Amino acid sequence: IQEVKKSEEIYGVKVANLYSGHGTYCTLGLTHTDKRIRRRMIEYWFKPLIRTAAALNAGVGFFAHAFSEAVLEDKYVYAEYMELLYSGLAELNEYAKQVGCGKLGVEQMYSPHQVPWRIDETKSLMKEVKKRSGDDFYFTEDVGHHHVKFVMPPNNEIEKALTAKTS
């Protein structure tokens, strides 16, 4: 923190946001099936990151959650995991406000297992987290994601591809 502040002063720049850099985009993280792992992410990854951002008078952007296929295949289980995601994000947003961190935002993604991946989901997520936490919640727009469009191939195309690979 002190080195960053010194560099800000020397070079006349300001760190506006930290980005988590957490592992890969395929982690279940905040929507992990094991509650202990979700808590660990919050307590030992996000909260220290948020405190660091607060010390720099900066915000935080991140993406650290995904849904497994089993969750995606059952609308009731999916709703439960959306609830976990909303609760976790609201908790982090409340914590950020308590410690004086700038705004939090989640990266908008590009596939069904990485919520939010559609515009309406992004809007809903931002509204729901704000409603629960009492503070604005943002999203990070990665313009590189626009070149990707998820389209589920028909089953016969999947079968043909698998057959071609084994022949």
User: pLDDT by residue (tens digit) across 83-108?
Assistant: 999 999 999 999 999 999 999 999 88
Res 166: pLDDT: 60
Q: How far apart are CA 27 and CA 23, in angstroms?
A: 7
Res 159: pLDDT: 79
Q: How far apart are CA 60 and CA 130, in angstroms?
A: 16
Q: Give me the half-sphere count of Cα atoms (radius 13 Å) on the Cβ side of residue 154.
A: 3
Res 61: pLDDT: 92
> Could you tell me the pLDDT band of residue 149, with boundaries at 50, 70 and 90?
low
Res 111: pLDDT: 81
pTM of the model: 0.83
Res 109: pLDDT: 83
* Residue count of the chain: 167
Q: How far apart are CA 78 and CA 89, in angstroms?
A: 16
